């Protein structure tokens, strides 16, 4: 018996919505990827695409938001090296066969020693997350409606601003509906929320004085039709929406393909020494 009561309590209390503030999830991150398909090194055209070890190595960086592969030449051996750089930090250095001659775990001192004879050729791969601008807030108000003895109640009812700010704090899109209480004939304002199946799961009702005369305080629990039907729908008088501007940000030229530093390759042969 006791186990049954405990089980019911565990099932019941997670549904309680007191103090709950749902968050608006931003869109999934998008990435800008650039590959130099024209470069030919190590006897291979387009090494980023056509070297098997390169694809395996790139797969290890799939969740990193910023990555460059920079082509270098060792001035002592004339070997071509591939440097994987993440946010300005050298993560690994590979020769043409994919053999790793340096890993970040070996430390900064080893990195400087290995790269002391390197000169940069060019960036052959670039990956960066495309940031999103701040959410765009879209509000619509029906200024023509008259209710509760005032024209444009969303603007002219003193308590409405506070109620709207409270709802905006939930970080969710919402609307305000003008309805009529069938029992009393009074006009009311409803702040509703529906689930994916068009069922009401939030239904806060305010009278003309700004008093909340009905509120449902459980999360994702469907409000009975008998409750909703008590208030005859008149029209929507306010909407609040958040959208994200998905316009692409073009990264600065100097961090795209070419040279990895803003001053460009500078040693006369189209190459520059690594900067520490």
Does 60 reside within a domain?
Answer: yes
Residues 121 and 166 in one domain: no
Tell me the residue range of the domain where 104 lies. Answer: 30-131+249-255
**What pLDDT is recorded for position 26?**
53
Residue 146 pLDDT > 80 = yes
Residue 265 pLDDT > 50 = no
Residues 142 and 124 in one domain: no
Other Cβ atoms within 10 Å of 216 Cβ, number: 19
pTM above 0.75, yes or no: no
Residues 48 and 61 in one domain: yes
Cα angle 110, 71, 65 (rounded to 5 degrees) comes to 80
Residues 127 and 158 in one domain: no
Residue 22 pLDDT > 50 = no
Neighbouring residues of 145: CB distance < 8 A, sequence distance ≥ 6: 151, 152, 153, 178, 235, 237
**What pLDDT is recorded for position 131?**
62
Which of 6-10, 26-30, 108-112, 148-152 bottoms out in mean pLDDT, i.e. has the lowest?
A: 6-10
| Separation between Cα atoms, residue 50 and residue 48, nearest integer Å | 6
**What pLDDT is recorded for position 232?**
94
pLDDT above 70 covers what percent of the chain? 72
Residues 122 and 39 in one domain: yes
**What pLDDT is recorded for position 137?**
83
Residue 34 pLDDT > 90 = no
Q: Which residue has the higher pLDDT, 133 or 71?
A: 71
Pairing of strands 136-141, 231-243: antiparallel
Give the CB-side neighbour count of residue 197, counting CA atoms within 13 A: 6
**What pLDDT is recorded for position 135?**
72
Residue 30 pLDDT > 90 = no
**What pLDDT is recorded for position 23?**
44
Does 7 reside within a domain?
Answer: no
**What pLDDT is recorded for position 14?**
42
CB distance 65 to 131 below 8 Å: no
Please count the structural domains in the chain. 2
């Amino acid at each position: 018996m006791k186990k049954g009561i405990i089980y019911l309590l565990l099932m019941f209390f997670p549904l309680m919505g007191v103090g709950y503030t749902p968050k608006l999830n931003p869109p999934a991150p998008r990435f800008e990827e650039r590959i130099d398909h024209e470069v030919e090194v190590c006897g291979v055209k387009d090494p980023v695409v056509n070297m098997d070890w390169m694809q395996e190595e790139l797969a290890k960086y799939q969740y990193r938001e910023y990555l460059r592969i920079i082509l270098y030449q060792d001035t002592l051996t004339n070997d071509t090296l591939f440097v994987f750089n993440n946010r300005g930090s050298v993560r690994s250095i590979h020769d043409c066969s994919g053999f790793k001659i340096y890993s970040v775990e070996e430390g900064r001192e080893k990195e400087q020693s290995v790269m002391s004879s390197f000169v940069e050729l060019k960036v052959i791969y670039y990956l960066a997350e495309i940031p999103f601008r701040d959410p765009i807030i879209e509000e619509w108000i029906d200024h023509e409606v008259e209710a509760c003895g005032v024209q444009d109640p969303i603007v002219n009812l003193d308590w409405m601003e506070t109620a709207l700010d409270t709802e905006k704090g939930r970080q969710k899109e919402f609307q305000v509906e003008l309805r009529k209480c069938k029992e009393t004939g009074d006009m009311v304002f409803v702040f509703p929320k529906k689930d994916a199946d068009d069922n009401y799961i939030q239904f806060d009702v305010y009278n003309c004085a700004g008093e909340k005369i009905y509120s449902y305080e459980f999360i994702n629990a469907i409000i009975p039709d008998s409750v909703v039907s008590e208030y005859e729908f008149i029209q929507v008088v306010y909407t609040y929406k958040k959208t994200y501007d998905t316009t692409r940000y073009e990264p600065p030229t100097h961090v795209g393909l070419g040279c990895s530093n803003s001053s460009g390759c500078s040693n006369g042969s189209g190459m520059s020494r690594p900067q520490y």
